Structure formats: C-alpha cells, structure tokens
C-alpha cells in the first residue's frame, strides 16, 4: 500500500549507545490511521510491535527499548503541530509508558526529493529538547 499524500508513522526502538546517545535500531510502520494532515497510531498494534521487537533484542530494556514515535508530514513542514506536541506530552506522562523521555521524529520529502527530518525529545517534566540527528555510514552499526 502506498501512502501517497497521507501521513504514515509508527514507533521507534532504540539502542542506548552512550550517555545521551541513542541509535534507532528499528522503526515499525503503520500505514493505516493517517489522513493528509494527521496521523494517529493504533495503540494496540504499537504495543504488539514493540513486544516483537523487544524479543528480537533479548528483552534487555537498559540497552534496547521504546525510544519514541515517528510519522511523515507529506503536506506540511517537518516541525511538530500542536496536536503532535500534545500527543507526545500525553505519552511521556502516561503511567503505562514508564519512561523519562520520548523522541518524536518527523520526516518528509521536499519538492526536490530531498529528505527532511526533525527530531525532538519530550521529557516527562514538560521540556522539549531538539535532537541532533547523525547518519551513520552504511555498515557501521554494530
């Protein structure tokens, strides 16, 4: 199924590689649930996806864990909408999530076909922290 001009998204699973450094090791995909201006992930599917990914990484939550959410903005800028921010704040303060922070990554292709990405960490205290994104050379991940 092609998303075309609909938003798609999913969850990010990360590896803790250093003090405040994380590597995205997997990103799940939920194509359904998006319109041309909004994506709302399905909680049940996200939990099932995270459980499967966790099993692949030996259920070692100190090293590999739920890192956050991602979705596309095919029709707007890569910056989070007020709805995006509210969703992340709700997720990071949800007692079932049990995290100190979550990352939101938004991507899109511009009219020249260039990939644009924005990432921000949402701390349980309410603080929003823009993240630096570093692309590793192919084959450098361990």
137 is a domain residue:
no
pLDDT in tens, the chain (142 residues): 455 677 888 889 998 888 889 999 888 887 665 545 566 666 677 678 777 877 887 777 778 888 999 988 988 899 999 999 999 999 899 888 788 899 999 999 888 989 999 999 999 999 999 999 888 887 766 5
d(CA 135, CA 24): 10
- 125 within some domain: yes
In a domain, 141, yes or no: no
Q: Is the Cα dihedral 87, 92, 98, 99 positive or negative?
A: positive
pLDDT for position 97: 77
Residue 114 is encoded by which pair of tokens? 């260039």
User: Bridge-partner residues for 72, per DSSP?
Assistant: 107
The answer to whether residue 136 sits within a structural domain is no
Name 51's Cβ contacts closer than 8 Å, sequence gap at least 6: none
Return the pLDDT at 66.
86
What whole-number distance in Å separates Cα of residue 65 and Cα of residue 61?
5
Token output for 132? 């630096």
The domain in which residue 106 lies consists of 9-130
Does 3 map to a domain? no
* pLDDT in the model for residue 35: 47
**Does a structural domain hold residue 2?**
no
Task: Report d(CA 142, CA 41) in Å as an integer.
Answer: 29
For the chain, how many structural domains are there in total?
Answer: 1
Residue 142 inside a domain? The answer is no
- Residue 32: per-residue pLDDT: 60
The pLDDT score that the predictor gives to residue 70 is 92
Residue 90: inside a domain: yes
| Residue 52, helix vs strand vs coil | helix
What's the CATH number where 38 sits?
A: 3.40.140.10
């Amino acid at each position: 199924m092609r998303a075309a001009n609909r938003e798609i998204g999913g969850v990010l699973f990360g590896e803790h590689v250093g003090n405040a450094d994380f590597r995205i090791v997997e990103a799940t995909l939920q194509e359904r649930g998006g319109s041309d201006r909004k994506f709302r992930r399905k909680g049940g599917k996200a939990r099932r996806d995270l459980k499967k990914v966790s099993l692949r990484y030996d259920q070692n939550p100190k090293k590999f864990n739920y890192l956050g959410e991602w979705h596309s903005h095919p029709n707007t800028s890569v910056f989070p909408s007020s709805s995006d921010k509210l969703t992340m704040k709700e997720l990071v303060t949800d007692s079932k999530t049990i995290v100190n922070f979550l990352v939101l990554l938004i991507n899109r292709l511009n009219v020249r076909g260039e990939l644009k990405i924005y990432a921000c960490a949402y701390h349980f205290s309410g603080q929003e922290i823009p993240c630096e994104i570093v692309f590793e050379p192919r084959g450098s991940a361990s």
